[in-house]
Structure 1
């Protein structure tokens, strides 16, 4: 069974959603039969390679949100992340365009390490203050997960890789996806947002039952029916 996940690296709820989905998947009886594909999405494609300011300043200045509201929102997100064992550090966070990070993810998918690299990128951005727009940092993350440094460096600005990334964007638009994280289970069931783990488990079970209907086998034996036993 396939699960397609649209997500941005620069999205705090995407990391929380990843954790909650993983928890829900662990409680799913057929977890070993689930194939996960990560898809790219950008919340702010217009963001320059680097924003000279904090996350609070970015959300306040570029999104027009009152600063006090931003602080409260960030505090709530930090609490939700902590409940999932994540340690967000918004004071150290480097606001940067995530496009090159998505290039790295597509290269990682070709080599079968997309989930590990996705985890590393999210953790680097939200927990460790790593600049996800810096090619040197991205090469280091790729190498840590078995990728060739030269291949990573080339992929970060490869037009062919960018075309693959933009195809994910286009597929999201065609599917009506307007926010992330967004999970599509077995190409039929959509789950929007960082839902509780139980919601993911239930959606997985529903999708599994829809694609694996109960097969009735006839066999002799004593039964009861409308006319008696």
Structure 2
């Protein structure tokens, strides 16, 4: 029996390149799954806050945030948003920065850990990113997060309790500490089998190639049970 490849993904739901990277990873894994000896892969998402000092209710649009955060002009910020919107479209995503509500993401990360405990992390990750980048939902608000949790197949009352109790906040901080230990300073960042690091929203073909390569390594030295 050969162990599955484990892919640990550090990301922030407010990171536009993270959603693109997630979609490209998904497409790459789907391509590799058609192989006669298809790789077995487990994907786990981990928390990374790009801007932990962001208020829940940010006053301004995404271009305003970028201009302030990166110290660039509003025109330069808009050019960055236009570029990432184009790349997102190539990945099949329709970003709506005109609707986006910039916010603090720590509660969304807590919800992701709750979803992981319930076996629904992939669905929750997709739902949060879609809500943030394509629907203009306010992911800093408890009611919105609870509604999205229900969309992802989670119990709404249990999700609300998890958020109010902050019992998953230590798990968020542990992810962030692990990212620091790995030297991760930007996301998305993919750690494959605990030994290969891949930075950035790579093309789908690149993800397919690396999982095939790592799967071949697994087959050469299969686990014993």
TM-score w.r.t. the length of structure 2 is 0.91
1:176 paired with 2:183, answer yes
1:144 paired with 2:151, answer yes
**Partner of 1:226 in structure 2?**
none
Shift of 1:148: 1.5
Query: Quick one: distance in 2 between partners of 1:189 and 1:106?
Result: 24
**Partner of 2:111 in structure 1?**
104
**Partner of 2:16 in structure 1?**
12
Shift of 1:214: 7.3
**Secondary structure of the residue that 1:27 maps to in structure 2?**
helix
1:66 paired with 2:70, answer no
Number of residue equivalences: 215
Q: 1:56 aligns with which of 56, 63, 81?
A: 63
The CA RMSD over aligned residues, in Å, is 1.5
Query: Quick one: distance in 2 between partners of 1:188 and 1:212?
Result: 17
* 1:191-226 alpha-carbon deviations (Å, 9 max, x no partner): 1100011111111122222232179xxxxxxxxxxx
**Partner of 1:222 in structure 2?**
none
Query: Quick one: distance in 2 between partners of 1:74 and 1:31?
Result: 37
Query: Quick one: distance in 1 between partners of 2:191 and 2:212?
Result: 13
* 1:5-32 alpha-carbon deviations (Å, 9 max, x no partner): 1110000001110111111111223556
**After TM superposition, where is structure 1 displaced by more than 4 Å over at least 4 residues in a row?**
none
Query: Quick one: distance in 1 between partners of 2:49 and 2:108?
Result: 11
Q: 1:22 aligns with which of 21, 26, 36?
A: 26
TM-score w.r.t. the length of structure 1 is 0.90
1:203 paired with 2:207, answer no
Relative contact order, higher structure (CA 8 A, sep 6+): 2
1:43 paired with 2:50, answer yes
Query: Quick one: distance in 1 between partners of 2:124 and 2:61?
Result: 25
**Largest Rg, 1 or 2:** 1
Query: Quick one: distance in 2 between partners of 1:21 and 1:58?
Result: 28
Does the aligned pair in 2 maintain the 1:100–1:157 contact within 8 Å?
A: no
Which piece of structure 1 moves more, 23-32 or 39-48? 23-32
